[in-house]
Chains A and B, each alone.
Chain A
Amino acid sequence: MKNRLPAIIILLSGSLLAGIGLWRGEAGEILLKGIRICLECIGIG
Chain B
Amino acid sequence: MEKRRIVQLTSTLLNNAYLKGFATLSIYQGKGKAVCVPVLNCYSCPGALGSCPVGSAQFMLASYKHQLSLYVFGILTMMGAASGRLACGWLCPFGLFQELLNTIPFRTRHLPSLLKWLKYPVLILTLLLPVIWINSAGIGEPYFCKYLCPAGTLEAGLPLGLGNSQLRSLLGALYYWKLTLLLLLIAASISYYRPFCRIICPLGAFYALFNRISLWRFEIDHARCTSCGICSNRCPMEIQVPGNPNDPECIRCMRCSTSCPSEAITFTRIPRLTPAFNEENLLKPWDSKI
Contact = CB atoms under 8 A, between A and B. Distances in A.
A joins B in a complex: yes
B43 A34 contact: yes
Contacts of B177: 43
Nearest to A38: B44
Nearest to A31: B34
Given A29-B60, A38-B42, A14 B146 contact: no
A1 B215 CA distance: 10
Interface string B195-223: 00000000000000010011100000000
Contacts of A41: 42-44, 55, 142, 145-146, 149, 152-153, 156-157
Contact of A42 (B31, B82, B167): B167
B90 interface: no
Interface string B129-167: 000000000000110011001001100110011000001
Main secondary structure of the interface of B (DSSP, over half): helix
Contacts of B215: 4, 7-8, 11
B182 to A, nearest CB: 9
Contacts of A22: 71
Interface residues of B, number: 62
A42 B142 CA distance: 12
B78 A37 contact: no
Contacts of B149: 41
A11 B153 contact: no
Main secondary structure of the interface of A (DSSP, over half): helix
Interface in A8-28: 8, 10-11, 13-22, 24, 26-28
B71 A33 contact: no
B175 A10 contact: no
B224 interface: no
B82 A11 contact: yes
A36 to B, nearest CB: 8
Interface of B: 27-31, 33-36, 42-44, 48, 50-51, 55-56, 59-60, 63, 67, 69-82, 141-142, 145-146, 149, 152-153, 156-157, 160-161, 167, 170-172, 174-179, 210, 213-215, 269, 271
16 contacts: A7-B210, A7-B213, A11-B78, A18-B70, A21-B72, A26-B60, A26-B67, A29-B60, A33-B43, A35-B29, A38-B55, A38-B142, A41-B43, A41-B55, A42-B157, A44-B161
- Which 6 residue pairs across A and B have the least CB separation, nearest first? A21-B71, A18-B74, A34-B33, A14-B77, A17-B74, A41-B152
